Structure 1
Amino acid sequence: MTGSVETAAALYLDHLTVEKGSAANTVASYRRDLARYAAFLESRGIGSLAEVTEPDVREFLVELRRGTPDDGVPPLADSSVARTLVAARGFHKFAAAEGIVRSDVAHAVRPPKAARRLPKALSVDEVLAILEAAGAPDHPRALRDRAMLELLYSCGARISEVTALDVDDLDTEHRAVVLRGKGGKERIVPVGRPAIAAVDAYLVRGRPALVKQGTPALFLNVRGGRLSRQSAWQVLVDTAARAGIEKEVSPHTLRHSFATHLLDGGADVRVVQELLGHSSVTTTQIYTLVTVNTMREVYASAHPRAQ
């Protein structure tokens, strides 16, 4: 990015980091999206943010959806288009509010509505199979993996929240954990007895064999440092394969399963919202669609007059 676009973008990214407290991954995503937007503007001979017009922003939206075949850039999915345009819209809104430009030329340009995708949840038996597969054989890494996966499912935590845990974040006596979610927001979530037992076993027989330096991190890699998000993801994928799970499994799969199983068991959607750390109940309500769809399938297959 060059010229005043670069300067304005840097100010906006600083605003997201310092004033809004956006997560590092969010800021990195916005940085990539704004770099793409700046490159698009430069290709149109636009060097200053003040030169951008609403038609320019609309043309950027068109390019995202059709791609640039001559440059080998494929079109983006609607969800990615929406995310990229949200970054550009936020950028223009910020620039107008700060007086960098006179008006917000992107205000009327709306991102495409992505098709609503229902989260894929595992059955309780499938989750239990994964957890059992994580604990064998009994050695430090297996103890770590079992404790980590038990926590993911017991708390409905994001993978980044679990890998960021320090030993002191977990209160085994009161069976609770402090999770730090998006935007640095903290929430205290109860932990089930099996997860506490797995963590205790790891702390006693696993972590002491892995730790090599004074680190507060709960989950450690073989070098004694904090386990990365990518490594934790791979642990789940490998464990699911050992458990014979043929479905595609990711850390968010366990999070989806946590929410779905709670709602299936009669939990209130607002309680699930708090446990997941969602800022809006609307985000959580997508899980209620999963349970309704499950009921429809059972009804259609079991009721003699369903068809």
Structure 2
Amino acid sequence: MAKKKQLTVHNKSDRPDNIVLKEHEIVETCLDIESQLPSFMRDFFIYLKNAVALSTRLAYLTDVQFFCRYLVKETNLTVAEDLKEITAEDFSRITAKDVNRFIGDYCTRYMIKQDHSVKVMENHNRALARKKSSLSVLFKFLYRDEVIKQNITDGFNPIRLPKPQPDAIKRLEIDEVARLLDAVDSGEAFTEKEKVYWEKTKLRDRAIILLFVTYGLRLSELQQLNISSFNFNRGEFRIYRKRSKEVLMPVNRTCEKVIKDYINFERPHEDTLEEDAKDALFLSLQKKRMTTRAIRNLVKKYTSFVLGTTPDNGYSPHKLRATAATSLIQQGFSIYDVQNLLDHDNVTTTQLYAAHKKNVKREIVKNFEWIDEK
């Protein structure tokens, strides 16, 4: 079997190699999907490349590919036997009713047949809304580019999404965060067998949990952290957010201590690491950069102790992001400061967390008496 070629980066930007490599992997996936789609969509691919974030580009292409596969395998809208054979004329004949049937009927529940099994796939309104958005962008572009003669998107059925409710936001209370950190420190929730592994990773795990609940980092932001991301002399560290935004974050004393403890007393020595892991901050027991899946499982495992549930039902890193937001607001920080820290595009997102102040109406009224009791 031929050996897989090692990919190296000739990086002249300020961004770390691991982030450049990750983006390269996503670009390669996009290019692979594009190679399977009809050639008349080429200008649409160029549009996505320059108009939307890389992750959005991949999501749109995946949805378009799925729709084209549906056209070939499930409908009489094309005689093509392969996705590439679909023509612009085929797309010109597609009506809003056809798209509505795809989204509202087929996508809600469909089956994927494998060699020895059948997988039933279900999509709820949020997933359906994304597919509708992807196809709306595609059909509007094809109309604008005069590939098709009509803009059929006005006929797409609306998809009702539930309005976000503050009370439905899952997060840990402040006292639960304290118990979470105790669980990481003591390992008392583990079996004797599990403690063997916990002893090897407890400093790493503590640093991960603290970064999540202090800064509300996204999972990808934490997973991409390097040792070189931190400048302790200046008291700051660098993260790369959505749309390649580069942000400097201040390091508080607690986080500085736990990160230094992990680096100095637990993280494998640089001489024992392969080149692509030498700068990675959080490493697995296999001395590789931790994957997003491994970090997610770690967080779910520890939070399940606090919640009294199974690891599968523990909280995800995104719920620790919500925990950081509500905790900061409960401590009296402005929603605009929290918005800036968490990188929310819209302050209304941050306001959802502000609504978590318990019994706020009761406290206002209680402390606003017009007549003193005698």
- TM-score category by the smaller chain? 0.7 to 0.9
The answer as to 2:94 corresponding to 1:52 is: yes
Q: Which moved more, 1:181-190 or 1:150-159?
A: 181-190
Letter in 2 for 1:222: L
CA contact (8 A) 2:37 2:65 kept: no
**Residues 168-187 of structure 1 mapped to structure 2, 5 A cutoff:** 168-187=228-247
Percent of pairs with identical residues: 22
**Residues 118-197 of structure 1 mapped to structure 2, 5 A cutoff:** 118-136=168-186, 139-197=199-257
Letter in 1 for 2:237: V
Superposed CA offset, 1:206-253 (max 9, x none): 223485123321111122221100000111122223446447311011
**CA positional deviation for 1:104:** 3.1
SS class of match (1:223): coil
Which structure 1 segments of 5+ residues have no match?
Answer: none
Superposed CA offset, 1:142-197 (max 9, x none): 11111111111111101111001111112223332222122222222233321211
CA contact (8 A) 2:97 2:155 kept: no
| Correspondence for 1:233 | 296
After superposition, the Cα gap between the structure-2 partners of 1:203 and 1:70, relative to the gap in structure 1 and judged at 3 Å, is closer
**CA positional deviation for 1:12:** 3.9
Letter in 1 for 2:210: E
| Correspondence for 1:220 | 283
**CA positional deviation for 1:131:** 2.2
Aligned equivalents of 2:135 and 2:224: distance in 1? 30
SS class of match (1:207): coil
| Correspondence for 1:280 | 346
Superposed CA offset, 1:40-88 (max 9, x none): 3333323432222222222223215753589975552111111111111
Superposed CA offset, 1:109-167 (max 9, x none): 25413113432121112112222322346844211111111111111101111001111
The answer as to 2:138 corresponding to 1:62 is: no
TM-score (structure 1 length as normaliser): 0.82
| Correspondence for 2:143 | 96
TM-score (structure 2 length as normaliser): 0.69
The answer as to 2:307 corresponding to 1:257 is: no
SS class of match (2:239): strand
**Residues 197-212 of structure 1 mapped to structure 2, 5 A cutoff:** 197-209=257-269, 212=273
Say which one has the larger Rg: 2
The answer as to 2:130 corresponding to 1:80 is: no
Aligned equivalents of 1:255 and 1:64: distance in 2? 34
Letter in 2 for 1:217: A
The answer as to 2:71 corresponding to 1:41 is: yes
Which structure 2 segments of 5+ residues have no match?
Answer: 1-32, 79-89, 114-118, 188-197, 368-374
CA contact (8 A) 2:213 2:320 kept: yes
CA RMSD of aligned residues (A): 3.4
Aligned equivalents of 1:56 and 1:77: distance in 2? 19
Aligned equivalents of 2:281 and 2:152: distance in 1? 47
Q: Which moved more, 1:101-110 or 1:2-11?
A: 2-11
Letter in 2 for 1:295: N
Letter in 2 for 1:40: Y
SS class of match (2:76): coil
CA contact (8 A) 2:303 2:315 kept: yes
Aligned equivalents of 1:94 and 1:282: distance in 2? 30
| Correspondence for 1:32 | 62
Aligned equivalents of 2:34 and 2:303: distance in 1? 46
Aligned equivalents of 1:230 and 1:3: distance in 2? 29
Aligned equivalents of 1:4 and 1:224: distance in 2? 37
Q: Which has the higher contact order (CA 8 A, sep 6+)?
A: 1
Q: Which moved more, 1:6-15 or 1:177-186?
A: 6-15
SS class of match (2:359): helix
CA contact (8 A) 1:278 1:284 kept: yes
Aligned equivalents of 1:146 and 1:285: distance in 2? 29
After superposition, the Cα gap between the structure-2 partners of 1:38 and 1:268, relative to the gap in structure 1 and judged at 3 Å, is same
